[in-house]
Structure 1
Amino acid sequence: MRLYIAEKPSLGRAIAAVLPKPHKKHEGYIELGNGDCVSWCVGHLLEQAEPGDYDESWRSWQEQHLPIVPDDWQLKTRKGCHKQLTVLRKLMKLADELVHAGDPDREGQLLVDEVVHHCKVPQAKRQGMKRLLVSDLTPAAVTRALGQLRSNREFVPLSVSALARSRADWLYGINLTRAYTLQGRKVNYTGVLSVGRVQTPLLGLVVRRDLAIESYVPKPYYEVLAHLETDGGEAFSAKWQPSEACQPYMDEEGRVLARGLAENVAGRISDQPATVSSLVKTRKNQAAPLPYNLSALQIDAAKRFGFSAQRVLDLAQALYERHQLITYPRSDSRHLPAQQHGDASRVTAAIAANSDSLAQAVAGADTSRRGKAWNDAKVEAHHAVIPTDKRGAGSLSADERKLYELIARQYLLQFYPDYRFDETRVEVTIGTGLFRAAARVAVEMGWKALFPQKERSDKEESISLPRLSEGQSLHCRRGEVVDKLTQPPKHFTDATLLAAMTNIAAHVSDKALKSILKETDGLGTEATRAGIIELLFKRGFLTRQGKQIRATEAGRALIASLPESATTPDMTARWESALESIRERQLSYQGFMGPLTEQLQALVAGARGHLPESLRGVAAPGRRRGKGGRGRRKSSDKRSAAAMTE
């Protein structure tokens, strides 16, 4: 008997639907017509044991117990999951062959591997286990995936890297949270000071942004515009480009800080002859943006609809599991396998059937186009988030429909021509001064035609320029000094905070670390970012003011009480580099975990040696509970537990 072990019931049912009938439905599994069975986990059936599960004395938080490092790591069955784990254990004993059908990502790989190992499946059976990678729950896609089974042994390094990440986050989170919470009590702070490898640098990012805004002192600076006209009376303006001689009067970003200098330039160019000293006109093409991965989808949905990262993830999960209208949503890829291009006609036809507002866009799509999105070399376990070929969007909620249409439109862009425009750059000389102007004029809208004007990321016509030629004589009617003020950075929003997490390298000064972070997932992963942001809200360290995300008093005090190394993404960069080395078989599990456990002693000692005076007098944030009460977690949100210590 072959046993398919899916990550969730919805995937299990989708697999069974294309396998031999008739089916017999049992509690926790489906028996197929040929005697094979399909069963499932319910998200995580297992979770890391708590400190008190290892040693009863560790249940109480005491300094002398730290650091807590298990000698023999243990997993325990999650509450409410005993029955399903028993079903799987029984079926695995009966099965001749196992098929791992966890989600196609790092956590999905570990989730099923952990169950197989926990149930003590014999080594020979584990060695023969197959891997089924399903990114689309429609029957055609599942059938295709079943024809492409791989050996699960190929994915052992991926599973080991996930295991190392999970245990390292547990060690870091459990020990430093206890260490700093105990220190907080010494200054009468009664709350829990949650510290994590990702959540704390993320909070630090927001705190530093808030403080930078509050301490910001605007500086005046000045620009000079030359208002020019041709012999035919056509007018345009060009901006002064200060020379090296002006450096003493400029800041590091090249802005002129001396009004007197700007006034002098404006006075000297008024009513003076001018010459077009350079004119470059270039026709440029801009390809359509790639299909979405989860982070890009969350960022765009936040900008367009004001959805939080968690809201987007919940909606996307429903579109994938319940409605089967999109492919696997927790993807970090923005590319598609070449083979998928053959489905384009069916997918676009389904979009037209599912969305009246996109029917015209489908009619204009050329599905024979194969752009840069289709690239096998950039697709690993899963591909970009796109619509499936399933029809039937009548039961979608308003928000589900918004997200579906956003994903569908991004997919349709791939079948439209490039946006083409003429870019003209002009340099004008007036006396010894240099002035520049630029214009961009749309030639063919291409894929941008699918966006309303207000949604386009740049103006198609930046400045209107008359017909000019190099060497042409002009007249400068007058010079104008434009008063400007430097602007502080903006408070984070859902969109910009997610963008910062995905491009965390921009917030690191160390060049070597920048390089590492550019090659990794960023701060957190596609699967955990939404949960980590929400966790900081639930713990009272972040708050929303309209669209702005700000740190609370408790959040600021926590960051002020921690060493800088805990509040910046530097350590995450080093971890991610090591975890990627494990995945690529260049580093062993022990090679990562050994040095980490040694570092814990120093980290805990550092916590003990510092009283967090910034927390004195700060009220601990109250615990907020949702309508479902404490402890309830949707099975689809399988990574929320991981986010608790990450």
Structure 2
Amino acid sequence: MILYIAEKPSLARAIAAALPGPQKKQEGCIWLPNGDCISWCIGHLLEQAEPHIYNPAFKTWQLDHLPIIPSDWQWQEKANTKKQLGILKKLIKQATQLVHAGDPDREGQLLVDEVLHYAKVPAQKLQQTQRVLISDLTPVAVKKSLQQLKSNAEFAALSRSALARARADWLFGLNLTRAYTIRGRQAGYQGVLSIGRVQTPVLGLVVARDTERENFVAKNYYQVWAQITTPENQHFQAKWLPSDACRPYMDEEGRVLNRALAKNVASRIENQPALVSQADYKQKKQPPPLPYNLSSLQIDAAKIFAMSAQQVLDTCQALYERHQIITYPRSDCRYLPTLQHRDAKAIINALSKGSEALAKSTKNANSNLKSKAWNDKQVTAHHAIIPTSQAHKAASLNKTESQIFGLIARQYLMQFYPDYQYLSTLIQLDIAGGKFEAKGSTPVALGWRSLLPTKKKSDHEEEQEQLPNLKKGDSLWCDQGIIRDKVTTPPAAFTDATLLAAMTGISRFVSDKSIKAILKETDGLGTDATRAGIIEILFKREFLIRQGKQIHASQTGRAFADTLPSQLVTPDMTAQWEAQLNAMSLGESRYQDFMAGLTDNLTDLLTQSKSVSTASLQHLPAPKRNPFKKRSATRKRSTKSKAKKPA
């Protein structure tokens, strides 16, 4: 008997739909006519054991208990899924062959592996366990995946790295949360001061931005523009490029701070000849942007529809599981396997039947085109999020689902449109001894950009669409010099879109070159699958607040961040963790070395927590909910989240 173990019921149903009937449904499983069986987890069926399981005394939070470091790690059965775990354990025992069908990522690998180990599967049977990687729940795609089984042993290193992350998060979060919560209570604050390897640096990021905005001092600066006329009576503007002699009157960004200087330049160039010193015209092409991964989709959805990261993730899960209209949504990859290109024609055809807007977008799509998105070397355990052959169901989606699916479909269709072509122009002028410059970008062929809404050109954009055809040595005329009064602005407050972008591109906020390099390689703070949950935790803990579209640190969040050592509120430590975990997943580093280093660092941080000043935690507003009140089992069941645990 072959037993397929899916990560969740929806995946089990998709596997069943791809296998022969008639099938018999029983509680917790589906039997196939040949005696094989499909069962499922419901997310994690097991969790790291609570501290009091190791020692009943740990039920009470006390500083002298810390650090709590288990010598023999234990799993704990989750109360609300205990029944399904029991069913699985019986089926695992009966099975002669096991097929691991967890989601194709680090967490999905561990989720089923932990059940197999907890069920004490014999070593030989464990070694023969196979792995199926399913990113598309349509029957055709699932059948194809079931024909490409791999040995589950190939993914042992990936599973170890996920286990190391889970245990490290437990050690780090539990010990430091207890330490700072107790210190907070001693100062009079009765809330939980939770710490996580990702959530705390994100809080630090928002606090730093708020502080920078509050301390910002606006400066006036000035630009000079020359109004130019050609002999053919064509008009354009060129911007003054201050010389080195003007440095004493400029800031570090090269902005002129002295209006008298700007006024002098403007008056000197008025009614003066202008000589073309350089005229470059280059035909350029821009390929279509890559299909979405989850983070890039969340960023665009926040910008366009003002959706939170969690809203986008929840909507994607519905599109993937319920409608089967998109591929696996928790992907961190923006590339596609070359074999997937064979499905392009069928997917485009399905999109043409989805809605009027989609039909219009598919009209000029050429399924024979192959963009740079198809690249096997860049595809990891999963590929970019794209529509499936069920895209014709788009007409039945609700408004939010339609908006998200529309973005995914448009990004996919762009791959079958030609490059955007434009003429890039750079003109430099000498006027009365000063250097001036005009830049232009003239569309030649819209290509994939024809799928985007028309962008309104801002009055402040310095790139002009049409510039005259000139050559070096041409004589023009400057009619007048125009002074534009400008004021420096503080960095913008974070929004859902920019906070996600900051988490994804966190290396921009780090000065240490070695850490910056690590963060570029590991793609930032958290993973595509966890970022939404991390942001939500910070709101639930009342560390972050919303003001319209803006995200700010609350009074409590700021006070808490001020209490913590810089190691906890900057991304450096998280970057080093991710680098080590990534190396572990590739079999390049050892679990034992990672855990040993982490426990040493944890001990140092706990020592610091005992001497840190808690003055900023006094007189804080009380949390809206009692953080120490235990919820009833009914309440727990009603608020159970389908999402995987965030870091």
TM-score, normalised relative to structure 1: 0.97
Say if 2:135 and 2:382, in contact at 8 Å, map to a contact too: yes
Q: Distance in 2 between matches of 1:636 and 1:612?
A: 34
Question: Does structure 1 residue 392 correspond to structure 2 residue 396?
Answer: no
Q: Partner of 1:93 in structure 2?
A: 93
Q: Distance in 1 between matches of 2:151 and 2:457?
A: 45
Say if 1:424 and 1:438, in contact at 8 Å, map to a contact too: yes
Q: Distance in 2 between matches of 1:6 and 1:455?
A: 48
Q: Distance in 2 between matches of 1:520 and 1:424?
A: 37
Residue 623 of structure 1, CA deviation: 2.8
Say if 2:421 and 2:446, in contact at 8 Å, map to a contact too: yes
Residue 398 of structure 1, CA deviation: 1.1
Q: Partner of 2:155 in structure 1?
A: 155
Q: Partner of 1:321 in structure 2?
A: 321
Q: Partner of 1:360 in structure 2?
A: 360
In structure 2, relative to structure 1, the CA distance for the partners of 1:46 and 1:339 (3 Å cut) is same
Q: Which amino acid aligns with 2:167?
A: R
* Paired residue secondary structure (1:282): strand
Q: Distance in 2 between matches of 1:558 and 1:506?
A: 24
In structure 2, relative to structure 1, the CA distance for the partners of 1:182 and 1:433 (3 Å cut) is same
Question: Does structure 1 residue 488 correspond to structure 2 residue 490?
Answer: yes
Residues 404-433 of structure 1, C-alpha deviation per residue, up to 9 Å, x if partnerless?
111111100000000100011000011321
Residues 498-533 of structure 1, C-alpha deviation per residue, up to 9 Å, x if partnerless?
000000000111111000000003101111100000
In structure 2, relative to structure 1, the CA distance for the partners of 1:635 and 1:63 (3 Å cut) is closer
Deviates more, 1:305-314 or 1:45-54: 45-54
Aligned match for 2:642, one of 613, 637, 643:
637
Residue 17 of structure 1, CA deviation: 1.4
Q: Distance in 1 between matches of 2:66 and 2:86?
A: 35
Structure 2 portions without partners, runs of 5+: none
Q: Partner of 1:105 in structure 2?
A: 105
In structure 2, relative to structure 1, the CA distance for the partners of 1:114 and 1:634 (3 Å cut) is farther
* Paired residue secondary structure (1:350): helix
Q: Distance in 1 between matches of 2:12 and 2:233?
A: 73
Q: Distance in 2 between matches of 1:48 and 1:192?
A: 20
Say if 2:172 and 2:196, in contact at 8 Å, map to a contact too: yes
Q: Partner of 2:444 in structure 1?
A: 443
* Paired residue secondary structure (2:288): coil
In structure 2, relative to structure 1, the CA distance for the partners of 1:305 and 1:483 (3 Å cut) is same
Residue 392 of structure 1, CA deviation: 2.2
* Paired residue secondary structure (2:581): helix
Q: Which amino acid aligns with 1:588?
A: R
Say if 2:191 and 2:626, in contact at 8 Å, map to a contact too: no
Percent identity, aligned pairs only?
Answer: 57
Residue 248 of structure 1, CA deviation: 1.9
Question: Does structure 1 residue 74 correspond to structure 2 residue 74?
Answer: yes
Say if 1:369 and 1:415, in contact at 8 Å, map to a contact too: yes
* Paired residue secondary structure (2:100): strand
Q: Partner of 2:416 in structure 1?
A: 415
Residues 121-177 of structure 1, C-alpha deviation per residue, up to 9 Å, x if partnerless?
111111011000000000000000001000111111111111111111111110111
Q: Distance in 1 between matches of 2:417 and 2:148?
A: 31
Q: Distance in 1 between matches of 2:456 and 2:376?
A: 31
Q: Which amino acid aligns with 1:423?
A: S
Aligned residues: 641
Q: Partner of 2:217 in structure 1?
A: 217
Q: Distance in 2 between matches of 1:632 and 1:442?
A: 56
Q: Distance in 2 between matches of 1:264 and 1:454?
A: 36
* Paired residue secondary structure (1:289): coil
Deviates more, 1:265-274 or 1:78-87: 265-274
* Paired residue secondary structure (2:80): coil
Say if 1:164 and 1:579, in contact at 8 Å, map to a contact too: yes
Say if 2:190 and 2:623, in contact at 8 Å, map to a contact too: no
Say if 2:80 and 2:637, in contact at 8 Å, map to a contact too: no
Q: Which amino acid aligns with 1:186?
A: Q
* Paired residue secondary structure (1:550): strand
Q: Partner of 1:549 in structure 2?
A: 551
Q: Distance in 2 between matches of 1:213 and 1:232?
A: 48
Q: Which amino acid aligns with 1:139?
A: P
* Paired residue secondary structure (2:394): coil
The RMSD of aligned alpha carbons is 1.8
Residue 454 of structure 1, CA deviation: 3.3
Deviates more, 1:614-623 or 1:151-160: 614-623
Residue 624 of structure 1, CA deviation: 9.4
Say if 2:439 and 2:462, in contact at 8 Å, map to a contact too: no
Q: Partner of 1:401 in structure 2?
A: 402
Q: Partner of 1:513 in structure 2?
A: 515
* Paired residue secondary structure (1:371): coil
Q: Partner of 2:435 in structure 1?
A: 434
Q: Partner of 1:189 in structure 2?
A: 189
Q: Which amino acid aligns with 1:510?
A: D
Q: Which amino acid aligns with 2:212?
A: A
Q: Distance in 2 between matches of 1:634 and 1:399?
A: 22
Q: Partner of 1:383 in structure 2?
A: 383
Q: Which amino acid aligns with 2:305?
A: F
Say if 1:538 and 1:624, in contact at 8 Å, map to a contact too: no
Structure 1 moving runs of 4+ over 6 Å = 455-461, 633-636
Residue 463 of structure 1, CA deviation: 4.1
* Paired residue secondary structure (1:425): strand
Say if 1:187 and 1:611, in contact at 8 Å, map to a contact too: no
Q: Distance in 2 between matches of 1:82 and 1:630?
A: 17
Residue 229 of structure 1, CA deviation: 1.1
Aligned match for 2:591, one of 589, 599, 610:
589
TM-score, normalised relative to structure 2: 0.97
Q: Which amino acid aligns with 1:257?
A: L
Q: Distance in 2 between matches of 1:445 and 1:629?
A: 56
Residue 456 of structure 1, CA deviation: 9.6
Deviates more, 1:98-107 or 1:431-440: 431-440
* Paired residue secondary structure (1:424): strand
Q: Partner of 2:536 in structure 1?
A: 534
Q: Partner of 2:454 in structure 1?
A: 453
Q: Partner of 1:136 in structure 2?
A: 136
Q: Which amino acid aligns with 1:47?
A: E
Question: Does structure 1 residue 176 correspond to structure 2 residue 176?
Answer: yes
Say if 1:441 and 1:461, in contact at 8 Å, map to a contact too: no
Say if 1:177 and 1:193, in contact at 8 Å, map to a contact too: yes
Aligned match for 1:613, one of 604, 610, 615:
615
Q: Which amino acid aligns with 2:132?
A: L
Q: Partner of 1:295 in structure 2?
A: 295
* Paired residue secondary structure (2:527): coil
Residues 586-608 of structure 1, C-alpha deviation per residue, up to 9 Å, x if partnerless?
11000100111112111101000
Residue 635 of structure 1, CA deviation: 6.9
Q: Distance in 2 between matches of 1:600 and 1:543?
A: 29
Structure 1 portions without partners, runs of 5+: none
Q: Which amino acid aligns with 1:529?
A: R
Residues 227-256 of structure 1, C-alpha deviation per residue, up to 9 Å, x if partnerless?
111123322110011112222221111111
* Paired residue secondary structure (1:291): coil
Residues 577-634 of structure 1, C-alpha deviation per residue, up to 9 Å, x if partnerless?
11111011111000100111112111101000113111111113313999x9843477
Say if 1:440 and 1:460, in contact at 8 Å, map to a contact too: no
Question: Does structure 1 residue 331 correspond to structure 2 residue 331?
Answer: yes
Q: Partner of 1:424 in structure 2?
A: 425
Q: Distance in 1 between matches of 2:638 and 2:4?
A: 25
Q: Partner of 1:470 in structure 2?
A: 472
Residues 513-562 of structure 1, C-alpha deviation per residue, up to 9 Å, x if partnerless?
00000000310111110000001111111111111111110111110111
Q: Which amino acid aligns with 1:444?
A: A
Q: Partner of 2:205 in structure 1?
A: 205
Say if 1:2 and 1:95, in contact at 8 Å, map to a contact too: yes
Residue 104 of structure 1, CA deviation: 0.3
Q: Distance in 2 between matches of 1:634 and 1:350?
A: 37
* Paired residue secondary structure (1:354): coil
Q: Which amino acid aligns with 1:637?
A: K
Deviates more, 1:264-273 or 1:69-78: 264-273
Say if 1:441 and 1:460, in contact at 8 Å, map to a contact too: no
Q: Distance in 2 between matches of 1:472 and 1:271?
A: 17
Q: Partner of 2:582 in structure 1?
A: 580
Q: Distance in 1 between matches of 2:131 and 2:17?
A: 18
Q: Which amino acid aligns with 1:619?
A: P
Q: Partner of 2:266 in structure 1?
A: 266
In structure 2, relative to structure 1, the CA distance for the partners of 1:456 and 1:319 (3 Å cut) is farther
Residues 277-336 of structure 1, C-alpha deviation per residue, up to 9 Å, x if partnerless?
100000100011110000001011111111100000000000000000000000000000
Q: Distance in 2 between matches of 1:564 and 1:169?
A: 18
